């Protein structure tokens, strides 16, 4: 029996526990791959009761999870008592979220899990606890370091309709112009092309590179960054044998006909990438971290404190993340 997926608790006061329970309850209908939840078993039992879900839980080791999955939600104990109430993070929230991530990465690197699937975290809660990384992506890269050298992680938002990659991620817009470089675009493009080949099974990936300015600079009349920064990156990627084209006006890249011309769109900043995919695939988009030595996926949404514990959270994005993790693991095996 192949190794199961390791699913992290995420922010315990958010909807992560809700959608994990909801996904397992529909495991047969949705043909889900086996997974185990890294959490405090007593906490998950309380959340299931609150949600009025009659779901059997099984405290297991990772090696026992795949066999238990058919009849109970397998839970691997993170060794911490979790006390957060829905919508109300407390002092147990950040330690539990971090412990689950740490254990998931350790399990996949030891061969006990096939991939890491992460439930949403609340960065503000982590920051208040002293968490030093900008977010999930950077922390996972730190955990994946070899000989003190961390890989360069790349965030891809994927759906069957569209895959996008923000070259700069969680930055204030005024800082994007200073952070964006030709080398960064080239490094990102290389990693995207490599993972599309090796994990997604696309023999010759096609990359569409968005311009930074409106109309990709309009031949310099709306800024010279596209000619000075983006265009040289596209030329270097193309010279390396990567099918890259651009810079393209971002306002015409995402309609249905345009999307058929590429496998992934590289965008210059966060909202340029995330607005189109969240418009097109809000309930089934998946966050995939490229460039890591293991597969990591995540739902493409936040903690949704306002609906946590109410039973109304849609597990669709988590279901898509679980299925994509299994697919990518199979491709790279």
Do both 194 and 318 map to the same domain?
no
**Residue that terminates a domain, selected from 254, 280, 306:** 280
19 & 139 share domain: yes
Query: Is the domain of 187 the same as that of 120?
Result: no
Task: Tell me, letter by letter, the H, E, C secondary structure of 31-92.
Answer: CCCCEEEEECHHHHHHHHHHCCCCCCEEECCHHHHHHHCCCCEEEEECCCCCCCECCECCCC
Residue 287 lies in a domain: no
Return the H-helix or E-strand segment holding 199: none
pTM: 0.93
Q: Which of 16, 11, 14, 12 is nearest to 321 (CA)?
A: 16
Percent of the chain topping pLDDT 90: 89
Judgement on whether residues 97 and 120 belong to the same structural domain of the protein: yes
Beta bridge partner(s), residue 287: 157, 298
**Spatial CB neighbours of 34, under 8 Å, sequence gap ≥ 6:** 4, 5, 65, 66, 69, 74
Q: What is the pLDDT of residues 95-109, one digit of tens each?
A: 999 999 999 999 999
Helix (H) or strand (E) holding 207: strand 206-210
Q: How far is CA 56 from CA 213, 274, 319, in A?
A: 53, 37, 19
| Backbone angles phi and psi of 40, in degrees to 5 | -90, 115
Co-location of 55 and 123 in the same domain: yes
Name every residue whose Cβ is closer than 8 Å to that of residue 140 and which is 6 or more positions away in sequence: 101, 105, 116, 153, 289, 292, 296
Quick one: average pLDDT of 148-170? Answer: 94
254-304 pLDDT per residue, tens: 999 999 999 999 999 999 999 999 999 988 999 999 999 999 999 989 999
Q: What is the mean pLDDT of the chain?
A: 95
Pair 14, 135 in one domain: yes
Q: Which of the four pLDDT bands, split at 50, 70 and 90, describes residue 330?
A: confident
Sheet with 154-158, strands from edge to edge, namely: 57-59, 73-77, 35-39, 5-8, 116-117, 296-299, 286-290, 154-158, 163-166, 264-267, 206-210, 243-248
| Apex 135 CA angle, 130 and 137, nearest 5 | 135
- Enumerate the H helices of the chain as residue ranges: 16-25, 27-30, 41-50, 62-68, 93-109, 123-128, 136-143, 173-179, 182-198, 225, 231-239, 256-259, 270-280, 316-332
At 75, phi and psi to the nearest 5? -125, 125
Domain tally, the chain: 2
Question: Residue 332 pLDDT more than 80?
Answer: no
Residue 201 lies in a domain: yes
- pLDDT, position 298: 96
Q: Are residues 257 and 329 in the same domain?
A: no
Q: Do 166 and 270 touch, CB atoms closer than 8 A? A: yes
pLDDT at residue 148, rounded to an integer:
84
DSSP state of 203: S
Burial class (CB in 10 A: 0-12, 13-18, 19+), 135: middle
pLDDT reading at 333 higher than 80: no
Task: Write the CATH number for 61.
Answer: 3.40.718.10
- Per residue in 217-265, pLDDT (tens digit) is 888 888 999 999 999 999 999 999 999 999 999 999 999 999 999 999 9
| Number of residues in the chain | 333
**Distance separating alpha carbons of residues 187 and 183, to the nearest angstrom:** 6
Same domain, 1 and 143: yes
Structural domain harbouring 221: 161-280
User: What confidence tens digit (pLDDT) does each residue in 170-189 have?
Assistant: 889 999 999 999 999 999 99
Please choose, from the candidates 290, 210, 209, the residue with its C-alpha nearest in 3D space to the C-alpha of residue 244. 209
For residue 69, name the pLDDT band (cuts at 50, 70, 90): very high
Spatial distance between the Cα atoms of 238 and 321, rounded to a whole number of angstroms = 31
């Amino acid at each position: 029996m192949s190794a199961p997926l390791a699913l992290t608790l995420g922010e315990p006061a958010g909807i992560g526990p809700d959608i994990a329970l909801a996904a397992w309850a529909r495991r047969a209908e949705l043909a889900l791959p086996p997974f185990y939840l890294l959490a405090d078993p007593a906490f998950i039992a309380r959340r299931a009761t609150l949600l009025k879900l009659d779901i059997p839980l099984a405290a297991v080791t990772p090696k026992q999870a795949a066999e238990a999955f058919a009849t109970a939600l397998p839970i691997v104990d993170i060794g911490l008592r979790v006390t957060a109430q829905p919508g109300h993070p407390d002092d147990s929230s950040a330690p539990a979220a971090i412990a689950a991530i740490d254990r998931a990465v350790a399990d996949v690197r030891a061969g006990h899990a096939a991939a890491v699937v992460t439930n949403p975290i609340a960065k503000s809660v982590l920051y208040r606890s002293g968490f030093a990384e900008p977010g999930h992506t950077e922390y996972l890269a730190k955990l994946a370091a070899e000989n003190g050298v961390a890989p360069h992680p790349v965030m891809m938002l994927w759906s069957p309709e569209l895959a996008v990659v923000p070259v700069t991620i969680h930055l204030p817009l005024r800082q994007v112009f200073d952070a964006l470089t030709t080398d960064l675009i080239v490094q990102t493009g290389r990693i995207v092309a490599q993972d599309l080949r090796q994990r997604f099974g696309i023999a010759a990936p096609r990359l569409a590179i968005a311009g930074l300015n409106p109309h990709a600079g309009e031949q310099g009349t709306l800024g010279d960054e596209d000619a000075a920064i983006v265009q040289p990156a596209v030329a270097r990627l193309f010279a390396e044998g990567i099918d890259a084209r651009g810079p393209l006006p971002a306002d015409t890249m995402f309609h249905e006909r345009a999307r058929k011309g590429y496998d992934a769109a590289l965008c210059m900043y966060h909202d340029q990438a995330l607005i189109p995919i969240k418009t097109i695939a809000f309930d089934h988009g998946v966050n995939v971290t490229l460039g890591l030595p293991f597969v990591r996926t995540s739902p493409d949404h936040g903690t949704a404190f306002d609906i946590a514990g109410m039973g109304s959270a849609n597990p669709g994005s988590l279901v898509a993340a679980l299925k994509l993790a299994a697919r990518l693991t199979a491709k790279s095996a």
